[in-house]
Structure 1
Amino acid sequence: MKKYLLFLLCITSSITFAQRLPNEAPGSKPTQKPVLHGKDWVAITGKPLAATAGAQLFYQGGNAVDAACAMLAATATMWDVLSWGGETQALIYHPTLKKVIAINAMGVAPTGATVEFFKSEGMDYPPAFGPLAATTPGTAGGLMTMLAEYGTKSLEEVLAPAMKLAQGYPIEAQTANAIEGGKERIKQWPYSKKVFLPHLGEEREGPQVGEIFIQNDLYQTLSKLVETERAALAAGKSRSEAIYAANDRFYRGDIAKEIVRGAREQGGLFTEEDLATWKAKIEEPLMVNYKGIEVYKLQEWTQGPALLQSLNILENFDLKSMGYNSTQYIHTLYQAMSMAFADRDFYYSDPAFDPVSPMKGLLSKEYAKARAAQINMEANDPNIGPGDPYPFQGGVNPFKDLLAKQRETVAVNLPGEPIQGPDDPYLLEFQSGTTSIQAADKDGWVVSITPSGGWVPAVIAGNTGVGMSQRMQSFVLDENLNPYNLVEPGKRPRVTLTPSLALKDGKPFLSFAVQGGDSQDQNLLQMFLNVVEFGMNVQEATEAANFNTYQMQSSFGDHAIKPGAMTLREDTSPWVRNELAKMGYLMDFWSKTSGPINGIWFDWENGTLWGGSSNYGDDYGIAW
């Protein structure tokens, strides 16, 4: 009997590795990657070369904003997994103001992008690929706004690594293979074909892994921005004024004209006015307090508030006593996330447009408590739909009839079977695109970015080298799905992109982000709880066994929902598998389920920075 108990103890320890022995030091458990320990700075992003770009700016005396902008420029140039015509969303901790600032550099629907237009084209949603999938470019404007307002370096200094990459760099396998896999679409677009397919007519028409990949058009576009900045500085303009002069050339000058010409030639809807009137926004983030920790997210034009709603619901449960990744823990998180994402799917949208999402009610503790009380603790509820937050903000729901109809139809697409592994075509949309950027420095600047859009295969806009976004597909055309997120010219779609920052005792506690479409906030929620509830260090938390749920409307493609489906790590114990199956879950199992998450934890006792970068993909970090 004693041997049997000892065997069970060993197995349990291997599964719940974060539950340490008393006085055991953080970081003593083995991880596949080491913690990044830094005293002066940490720079982490989706590719090693791009992380090196951030390190270069730090070595040149830049702050975390400068380094983050250099990494953003590098990742956009490397198509990881975005381009210069994509979108940028960021949270910045300002150490002097002691507050979190939100950057909204999401592009908008162009002129003519209406519900009626897309329906007249026989579409149920705006398309996932091609010129009609594109919102206006946001990457460039987001970068230049952040740099001008909060950086210290010139645009020329920040763009130098990206320009070097554009002149030619050894392309890595992920991007090279994505180009080759998407080459039939790429051949439809002449400017994309020119850039992406250097070996037309050969067996492999895209670049070989390790081949020097050259982007002359993009290099010329970036050179024009630097040229404009130099001229403005020579004319006596300040650093920020010179950067904004370059921004004007991109959105109102010859670069904008070529973007619009190239987009329209290929069937896009952009006008010069669409670009000229767009600008990045500096906003107030949304925040909830979870057990004394302030957790910040971007506004409801992203899915970020779903993580905040989930935390509010989960605060009503003793998660730690359930045990890390126990049956009850997984079930409780699954149900809470299903509720939060059902609200996301029905209510979230661009707050600059009417009707405005009821965020006060959605983020209220009272609403969360009411939602928590609705959870069936014995079985999965495939019919979870959106709640009614309006009474919790003193209002009346203007869409009660649509809400009732939505609840009736939410489980129509029951899957009948689990996800068919990592190569399931459904996942190619559900987890589409994106990278993440994390930077922090000894002076207290912290930057968390989840940029995306314009991923391979992308339509390149004329002779600019700028890949156009695919974000229009995140709008809906049917008010029964979401009466707030209907497509409209000038409107931002509700996107999956969702950087995160957390403060404790008025100081940065954790900065974290992840790539992966609709899976982002569920992975980030679990990573946060790994640290807060189970005492993992930041590297352990990024590598830990998460589960993924598909009981939400996909933000891509045909917007399918798969109630009860989930992905677990393959070392999930047999008894947990059996118990979850009895509760109605449809499971598949992967070797890695961590994200890939990147994060920075702040050790105020020792005055150091701890960086974590998941073992899932190509993400990489450097610290000093």
Structure 2
Amino acid sequence: MFIASHVHAPRRAAVTALAAALFLSLVTSWPASAQKTAKPVLMGKHWVAVTGKPLAATAGATIFNRGGNAIDAACAMLAATATMWDVLSWGGETQALIYNPHTGEVMGINALGVAPSGATPDFFRDQGMLYPPEYGPLAATTPGTPGGLLVMLAEYGRLSLAEVLAPAMQMAEGYPIEESQADFIESRRDILAQWPASRKVFLPHLDEDDPAVRAAPRPGEIFRQPELLATLRKLVAAEAEALAAGKDRKAAIQAAYERFYRGDIAAEIVRSSREQGGLMTLEDLADWEVKIEQPVSVNYRGIDVYKLTTWTQGPVMLQALNLLEGFDLKGMGYNSANYIHTLYQAMNLAFADRDFYYGDPYTPPAEPVEGLLSKEYAAERRKLMPADRNATDIKPGDPYPFQGDSNPFEKLRQQWQPVPPAADAEGAEGFQQAGTMSHDEAFLAGTTSIQAADAEGWVISVTPSGGWIPAFVAGESGIGLSQRMQSFVLDESLNPFNVVRPGQRPRVTLTPSLALQDGKPLLAFSVQGGDTQDQNLLQFFLNMVEFGMNVQQAAEAQNILSYQMQSSFGAHQAEPGRLQVTPLVSPWSQAELTRMGYEVESVERTYSPVTAIWFDRENGTMQGGASDYGDDYGIAW
């Protein structure tokens, strides 16, 4: 800015300060076209495959090149990431949204396991716990990922199970393990060594007489999983036998499903789990089933955004969008103090509802979904968003009147506290109470993400998880079991919809996303992480819709991170007011946020490993994005 030389000194200082403030404001809301990215936008005419690891993306590309559609490719990527233990294993859970181009419908895949027989609040309290444990056989829900993969493939794919599992089976036979994964296994060696099968899989060099010797595989070493390979071969053999007997493709894949959940694989999972103190029974596996369900959605400025319902945290993003629709976000400027404050307060309100009302819709009580997602409810809640301070005392709202009901838990709602009681339970060490991860690690940790789309119009977004290291491997099955039980609560005053009991699904953080415009796909997007997921995805979506970023810019954007919501892991703690930003948020904006009552932390970058596909309808092509945070990777053609 030009400043005339004849301006008096006091006025010159004032004008200079104003110029500096204007400059900082411009930097904060820098135009999207000025943003450089570490990775290029993936351009595809025929297909796009994006996921959390390069080898897994290659598996998806391989299946596309064999004539598979987007569902086949996604299943191959799912199988590969589970085999790589990319923060999940075969015994974890899978959730997906699928757009069917032949019907124009978005369908949800619910392949989340349930609490096993005997899993009650009294059982865990008797062990001295305030929450179910973080790891070990008692942390396991029934395996969901095998069922989810098999159902998606049978219903919406076109290739055989043998073809789709081929890349994962090659990897189980042996693949060069990555440095980050090898080192992480070594860091968890003491826990893994407790269980014979886990020790056998993960610690091939264990020398009990010399703890200084590295027990985990070395980076680049061929990591072999013969037990898992044998299990995958059993699934393929079941399919082959059914085909030889004259069964059609779908029935043959169902035969593999039967063998896993009601045959010899199920028997080995149950035997080995119970031998180590687990609760799972053969009936638990036989009675469990994948749900193909209707997702929920809201319209945000002409865009229909779809999420799975309240067994995930997905609706929290929809609630936040309803709240934010009442503000001129673009006019505030990207990552300005006003924008960050408004975003944070909307998330406060939405996550307070999540922490009290979300749970398994297939078991009573029924969640008030209609009220939670109504525009009228959002308008009422929006009145609670203070303009000049952070509200640390936000309670869940009362959505029941907005669906014509009265709240059966009004007394509990009034008594609810934003920060739950400290979880310093004196559980026996053998029951693996809290302690494997810090609060920050638990808040960020979890999962991979998968996006796939093809020229026929199939689109899928997947967020699988569970069975991460340190995983309890179930005997000779090679299957690492889930640790999702820890997301339950034992006390209904925390959340009456998410109290553990046999046959119930825990409310998970996992949240695939699809967006449609005029009935056609616009975006498929999801993200790794724990409780951070929907705040990451909310900002990614706004980056594109409000601020005009392309899919790669939006995936790499340095957004904010709130810790005000309750963690779904470990000790379930919350840190009201804690806010992480990057140095791209100006010092003035950081100071203004501090004045509003935020505990501002400036970090080199915030956690947001988003993967996504955007559909360029003008040119009839697809554009993929994969964050530069970790190993996210995509391939397009």
Q: Into which bin does the TM-score normalised by the smaller protein fall? A: over 0.9
2:358 is aligned, of 348, 353, 365, to 348
Alignment of 1:27-426 (within 5 A): 29-201=35-207, 203-406=213-416, 409-411=417-419, 425-426=438-439
The size of the alignment, in residue pairs, is: 607
Render the CA deviation track for 1:482-507: whole Å, top value 9, x for unaligned: 01110010000000000000000110
- Structure 1 residues 178-221: Cα deviation after superposition (integer angstroms, max 9, x where no partner): 21111110011111000000110252111111111000000000
CA shift, 1:587, in A, is 1.7
Return the alpha-carbon distance in structure 1 between the equivalents of residues 564 and 493 of structure 2.
Answer: 18
Write the letter of the residue equivalent to 1:328.
N
Instruction: Look up the SS of the partner of 2:532 in the other structure.
Output: helix
Structure 2 match to 1:417: none
Counterparts of 1:614 and 1:340 in 2: how far apart (Å)? Answer: 26
The alignment's TM-score, normalised by the length of structure 2, stands at 0.93
Q: Distance in 1 between matches of 2:332 and 2:24?
A: 17
Q: Distance in 1 between matches of 2:343 and 2:586?
A: 18
Partner amino acid for 1:478?
A: D
Deviations 1:144-189, CA, capped at 9 Å, x for gaps: 0000000000000000000000011111122112211111100111
Deviation at 1:609, TM superposition (A): 0.3
Q: Distance in 1 between matches of 2:595 and 2:623?
A: 40
Matches within 5 A, 1:476-495: 476-495=489-508
State the secondary structure of the residue aligned to 1:102: strand
- Tell me, yes or no, if the aligned pair for 2:296 and 2:306 is still in contact at 8 Å: yes
Instruction: Letter of the 2:149 partner, please give it.
Output: L
Q: Does 1:462 align with 2:475?
A: yes
Structure 2 counterpart of 1:581: 594
SS in 1 for 2:531: helix
Counterpart of 1:203, as a letter, is: V
Matching residue of 2:524? 511
- RMSD of aligned alpha carbons: 1.5
TM superposition score normalised by structure 1: 0.95
* Equivalent residue, structure 1, for 2:433: none
Letter in 1 for 2:578: A
**Partner SS state of residue 146, structure 2:** helix
Q: Which runs of 5+ in 1 are unaligned?
A: 21-27, 415-422
Residue aligning to 1:527: 540
- Displacement of 1:16 after TM fit? 3.0
- What secondary structure, in the 3-state scheme, does the structure 2 residue paired with 1:331 have? helix
Partners of 2:277 and 2:600 in 1: CA distance: 42
Question: SS of the residue aligned with 1:517?
Answer: coil
Residue identity in the other structure for 1:250: F
Whether the 8 Å CA contact 1:413–1:561 is kept in 2: the answer is: no
For the pair shown, the structure with the greater C-alpha radius of gyration is: 2
Answer yes or no: is the 8 Å Cα contact 2:298–2:305 preserved in 1.
Answer: yes
> What is the CA–CA distance in structure 2 between the aligned matches of 1:251 and 1:137, rounded to whole Å?
9
Report the Cα offset of residue 411 of structure 1. 4.9
**Amino acid in the other structure paired with 2:144:** G
SS of equivalent residue, structure 2 residue 267: helix
Q: Counterpart of 1:2 in 2: which secondary structure?
A: coil
Aligned to 2:450: 437
Identity of aligned residues (%): 63
SS in 1 for 2:614: strand
Match in the other structure for 1:419: none
Deviation at 1:426, TM superposition (A): 1.2
Distance change >3 Å, CA 10–CA 575, structure 1 → 2: closer
Partner of 1:566: 579
Any idea what SS the aligned residue of 2:97 has? strand
1:264 is displaced (CA, Å) by 0.6
Amino acid of the structure 2 residue aligned with 1:544: A
Residue 427 to residue 594, structure 1, CA distance change in 2 (3 Å): closer
Quote the Cα distance in structure 1 between the aligned partners of 2:26 and 2:633.
28
